[in-house]
A and B are shown apart, each in its own frame.
Chain A
């Protein structure tokens, strides 16, 4: 009994040091922005920042589940591009059809990933790579390689424009709902525990009688559904289905998860820290825009790629030092 609680405490502290970095950096950047730029904390900036980053947050939390289970999903960007086209095609029927339709299409790709990985036993990296290519090709086929405009007379346009409860755009409210839902699944349900157990050790989990196959299927379906939702946001944000978008999104999502302190080896992770990671990566770009707006420096958009890479580097170095010192502590 004593042993268990000691282990939990250590794990808790270690878990928090992993997450601590991202929160400190996020708050430091926000304070820096608030002090330096006049309109940084204004309603317009906050709202448009969250609105734009909603799709990245959604795919990142889906990716977080996959990574916690010890897998990876490289197909999210292409699937989002595919479902953005589906959403645009369904937009004349209204948001009540377009949103579930696109999410279902995403879930179908997730199920395909799950089939490759669980039934055909193909490594996740390769299986989702293939789905990435397939979804990209599929998006180009169904759209004829053109952007597909949404129906501007339908209520689909309200998604990104209309304020829910007069406060924030619907995209942000939906994203918040997804995040809370996922947090509950991870922290409060047996399925969430099973996902973590699989990431910790798949064979051991199977021997304990956990339904490994079902949980693995679940994480890929979940990630696919998230990509589907991101596609809806993409279509609403750009006013069109974008078959060519989504390149590199999977890496942005992985970066968000890693920056959020989740180890790629699986078995541990945090939904909230992943959201913080996604916000942090987005904020780099936002601050770059403000800095350019002041006219003192002029950094092209290309710099954001370099800065993101550098961010990732520092977070990884920090993580590996924490992980190594943790290892030393337990010996």
Chain B
């Protein structure tokens, strides 16, 4: 009798544990399920080419998602990432196709990378300053660049598609090291660097404190405004870099299309990766995992002949499910 009871309790705990493990590691479980499904169903899924395509496509989402994670960790949101990508992506070709850059290729190339990222960082300073000094809600503050950033990019390029042939610059998007796409390594370097920043530096601790409880952080002497600006600046800088990669992949820059709807992908990746929208948590590798899941779902559906439109609906379902599980865990 007692034995039976004991077993019942034990099995109950196991069940709880396994359910808890699933909700705690929902992202990993989801990834495994998708991978298993693909291995069984999708033709040529295990072909190296599939891997390369997915890596080169997921890189931009992952890079922006890392930045978005920092902003969400402060309790904010950044809607302007796609527009900043477009802006950076429009400026780069303008620089390296100019007469000056043709005369000085090395300097031109350096400027074509430094200037767009610098402009992106300035956008981040603006976003951060709006949020921390004017106390504007992040969704409205970043709405300004969401609307006008792409406008500036379109005005600069006159709305034209800029095509170019510049192998050195294109290396950002098409280069390979040991057979793997260059931007894959870039993602790893960025993720490790930002993870280190969050885990081992004062800035990282302060950022989480601000997101956890802003008032308490303020009272304990944390420079809340500076920390918040820092998060928006990093996010904008990474968005600028992602914009350059998109342009490099295509050897063309279309300001109307670069980074379109990227804010949604990045937010979705961050949320699927376990970032709490209320702030106070910044799972960097979770965001990368989220980006991979989003990309793989898109790929799975497309590779199996499901229309692009339906893939959108699936993405919507994933977002709702991820947040619902997160919500349930909290309660």
Are A254 and B140 neighbours in the complex by a CB distance under 8 Å? Answer: yes
Which chain A residues numbered 135 to 189 have a C-beta less than 8 Å away from chain B? 136-138, 140-141, 145
Contacts of A125 in B (CB 8 A): 77, 139, 277
Given A265-B137, A304-B151, A320-B135, A254-B323 contact (CB < 8 Å):
no
Which chain B residues numbered 141 to 162 have a C-beta less than 8 Å away from chain A? 141, 143-152, 154-155, 158-159
Segment with Cβ contacts to A, from B43-51, B100-108, B219-227, B311-319? B311-319
**Complex: A317 Cα to B140 Cα, angstroms:** 11
Determine which of A126, A138, A308 lies in contact with B319 in the assembled complex, contact meaning CB atoms within 8 Å.
A126
Q: Does A34 contact B (CB under 8 A)?
A: no
**Complex: A123 Cα to B151 Cα, angstroms:** 30
Are A316 and B140 neighbours in the complex by a CB distance under 8 Å? Answer: yes
Binding site secondary structure of chain B: helix
- Which of under 10, 10 to 19, 20 to 34, or 35 or more describes the interface residues of A? 35 or more
| Contact count A vs B, C-beta below 8 Å | 127
**Complex: A97 Cα to B77 Cα, angstroms:** 41
Are B312 and A134 neighbours in the complex by a CB distance under 8 Å? Answer: yes
Provide the B284-321 mask, 1 if CB < 8 A to any CB of A, else 0: 00000000000000000000000111111101110110
Are A300 and B271 neighbours in the complex by a CB distance under 8 Å? Answer: no
Please give me the residue from chain A that is nearest to B77 by CB atom: A125
Q: Does A226 contact B (CB under 8 A)?
A: no
Please give me the residue from chain A that is nearest to B309 by CB atom: A140
Please give me the residue from chain A that is nearest to B149 by CB atom: A309
Please give me the residue from chain A that is nearest to B313 by CB atom: A137
Are B277 and A126 neighbours in the complex by a CB distance under 8 Å? Answer: yes
Contacts of B264 in A (CB 8 A): 129, 132-133
Closest CB in chain A relative to B309 CB, distance in Å? 4
Contacts of A317 in B (CB 8 A): 134
Contacts of A309 in B (CB 8 A): 144-145, 147-149, 151
Are A129 and B319 neighbours in the complex by a CB distance under 8 Å? Answer: yes
Q: Does A28 contact B (CB under 8 A)?
A: no
Are A316 and B130 neighbours in the complex by a CB distance under 8 Å? Answer: yes
**Complex: A122 Cα to B278 Cα, angstroms:** 12
Closest CB in chain B relative to A139 CB, distance in Å? 8
Given A134-B316, A265-B137, A121-B310 contact (CB < 8 Å):
no
Provide the B106-145 mask, 1 if CB < 8 A to any CB of A, else 0: 0000000000000000000000001000111101110111
Please give me the residue from chain A that is nearest to B315 by CB atom: A133
Contacts of A137 in B (CB 8 A): 309-313, 316
Closest CB in chain A relative to B233 CB, distance in Å? 18
Q: Does A229 contact B (CB under 8 A)?
A: no
Closest CB in chain A relative to B325 CB, distance in Å? 11
Contacts of B145 in A (CB 8 A): 309
Q: Could you list 20 examples of A-B contacts with CB < 8 Å?
A: A125-B77, A126-B267, A129-B316, A130-B316, A133-B319, A134-B317, A137-B309, A137-B311, A145-B309, A251-B143, A264-B139, A304-B151, A308-B147, A309-B144, A309-B149, A312-B147, A316-B140, A316-B144, A317-B134, A320-B135
Further contacts, 20 of them, CB under 8 A, given A127-B320, A251-B147: A120-B324, A122-B323, A126-B277, A129-B264, A129-B267, A129-B319, A130-B316, A133-B312, A133-B316, A141-B307, A141-B310, A251-B79, A251-B143, A265-B137, A300-B158, A306-B148, A306-B151, A309-B145, A309-B149, A313-B144
- Across the A-B interface, the 4 shortest Cβ-Cβ residue pairs: A309-B148, A305-B151, A137-B312, A140-B309
Query: Which chain B residues have a beta carbon within 8 Å of chain A's beta carbons?
Result: 77, 79, 130, 134-137, 139-141, 143-152, 154-155, 158-159, 264, 267-268, 271, 277, 307-313, 315-317, 319-320, 323-324, 327
